[in-house]
């Protein structure tokens, strides 16, 4: 199969990045990860880029200039899909227009519920019965683009923030690869 070139944007731990790198090694997974972008020079996820010899672009200037550098690199590596994986910056409107429908994100709640930050705490405070994760297209509305896939689990009485995060991320490692397979079926 002819794989598409993808880029992963991170800001922190990079466990979804690590998972996607592993999946991308499977011969029938639709993407190759050709570039990693981190706006945070101390992001733990940078080690996975280095270990796997994947080129990485790390922010060391203003965000405006960084976005320009990213655009240049995306062209260089012929990137046709951008996966945000714990990327904490808002993508500018100009950037979004250039990569319309080609940017996706993973969020640790059942969107449209609990957009934004501190998701686990808010889910617990609201005494939700279930939660999960969502992979969605990125548009100008925070966590508001078209949904590609959701995965759900029931919250147990003893679940705290830490446990919710563990359970949610376990589902994320299934949801993100599945979402990528789904979108490439349509192309």
Question: Two tokens at 122?
Answer: 């808010």
The correct pick among 6, 35, 49, 108 for binding ligand GRF (CB under 6 A) is 108
Question: Two tokens at 42?
Answer: 């101390």
Burial class (CB in 10 A: 0-12, 13-18, 19+), 109: buried
Residues 30 and 154: their CA atoms lie apart, in Å, by 31
Does 15 participate in binding ligand GRF (rule CB under 6 A)? yes
Q: Verify whether residue 137 is a known catalytic residue.
A: no
Q: What are phi and psi of 140, to 5 degrees?
A: -70, -10
Residue with CB nearest ligand GRF?
Answer: 86
- Contact predicate 63/39, CB 8 Å: yes
Q: Please list every residue from 36 through 75 that binds ligand GRF, using CB under 6 A.
A: 45
The correct pick among 6, 31, 37, 85 for binding ligand GRF (CB under 6 A) is 85
Considering the complex, what minimum distance in angstroms separates the CB of residue 95 from ligand GRF? 18
- Contact predicate 138/96, CB 8 Å: yes
Does 180 participate in binding ligand GRF (rule CB under 6 A)? no
Does 106 participate in binding ligand GRF (rule CB under 6 A)? yes
Neighbours of 37 (CB within 10 A): 26
Considering the complex, what minimum distance in angstroms separates the CB of residue 25 from ligand GRF? 18
CB nearer to ligand GRF: give 68 or 165.
165
Q: Which residues bind ligand GRF (CB under 6 A)?
A: 10, 12-17, 45, 85-86, 106-108, 133, 169, 172
Catalytic residue ranges: 107
């Amino acid at each position: 199969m002819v794989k598409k070139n993808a880029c992963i944007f991170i800001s922190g731990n990079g466990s979804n990045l690590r998972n996607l790198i592993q999946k991308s090694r499977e011969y029938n997974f639709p993407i190759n990860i050709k570039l990693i972008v981190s706006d945070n020079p101390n992001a733990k996820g940078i080690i996975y880029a280095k270990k796997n010899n994947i080129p990485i672009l790390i922010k060391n200037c203003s965000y405006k200039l960084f976005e320009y550098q990213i655009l240049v690199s995306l062209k260089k590596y012929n990137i046709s899909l951008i996966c945000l994986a714990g990327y904490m910056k808002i993508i500018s409107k100009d950037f979004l227009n250039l990569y319309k429908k080609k940017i996706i994100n993973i969020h640790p709640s059942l969107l449209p519920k609990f957009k934004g930050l501190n998701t686990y705490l808010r889910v617990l405070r609201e005494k939700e019965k279930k939660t999960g994760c969502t992979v969605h297209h990125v548009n100008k509305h925070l966590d508001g683009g078209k949904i590609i896939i959701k995965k759900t689990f029931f919250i147990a009485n003893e679940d705290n923030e830490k446990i919710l995060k563990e359970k949610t991320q376990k589902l994320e490692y299934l949801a993100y690869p599945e979402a990528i397979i789904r979108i490439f079926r349509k192309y």
